[in-house]
């Protein structure tokens, strides 16, 4: 399985799950659900976020989502994470282990649930082996 490029994995507000970028459309973009493989066009008003652009606040810096997902995969040995519907204490305890210095004032419980959902979606329908910037630059030079 090829590596996952988080720049091409999208979270779209109001839509369930994650999407893979397919192409630019005349007035928006076309993306494919990782879960159902159904392609859908999204207009210019859709709130689209690339997972590569998302960071988690810690007490010292911002940690990229890729670093967080990699730490989660290492902690879980690549297996599925606890459900985002699990007990709030269990979810917070999990993130205390994975990102012990997360900023509790800016990394909310709702964010934790989203990160768990994203991790489980990638673990199930893509790969937790991510494209790293150096590899990406090498590919474009060839």
In whole numbers, what is the pLDDT of the chain averaged over residues? 92
134: confidence class by pLDDT, cuts 50, 70, 90: low
Element (H, E) at 19: strand 18-25
* Domains assigned to the chain: 6-51 (2.30.30), 54-125 (1.10.10.1650)
Could you please report the per-residue DSSP string of 56-117? EEBSSSEEEHHHHHHHHHHHHTTSPPPPTTS-HHHHHHHHHHHSTTB-TTTS-HHHHHHHHH
33-43: average pLDDT: 96
3-state secondary structure of 53: helix
Residues of the chain with pLDDT > 70: what percent? 94
The rounded distance, in Å, linking the Cα atoms of 80 and 32 is 22
CA dihedral 26, 47, 116, 78 (to 10 degrees): 20
Backbone φ, ψ for residue 67 (5° rounding) = -65, -40
pLDDT computed for residue 136 by the predictor: 47
Instruction: Report pLDDT digits (tens) over 53-101.
Output: 999 999 999 999 999 999 999 999 999 999 999 999 999 999 999 999 9
Whole-prediction pTM = 0.90
Residues of the chain with pLDDT > 90: what percent? 89
């Amino acid at each position: 399985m090829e590596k996952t490029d988080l720049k091409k994995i999208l979270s779209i507000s109001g839509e369930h799950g994650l999407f893979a970028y397919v192409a630019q459309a005349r007035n928006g973009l076309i993306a494919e659900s990782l879960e159902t493989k159904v392609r859908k066009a999204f207009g210019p008003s859709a709130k689209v976020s690339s997972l590569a652009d998302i960071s988690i606040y810690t007490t010292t810096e911002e940690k990229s989502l890729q670093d967080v997902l990699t730490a989660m995969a290492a902690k879980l040995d690549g297996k599925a994470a606890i459900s985002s519907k699990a007990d709030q204490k269990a979810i917070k305890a999990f993130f205390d282990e994975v990102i012990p210095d997360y900023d509790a004032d800016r990394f909310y419980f709702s964010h934790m649930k989203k990160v768990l959902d994203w991790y489980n979606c990638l673990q199930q329908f893509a790969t937790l082996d991510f494209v790293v910037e150096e590899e990406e630059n090498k590919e474009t030079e060839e």
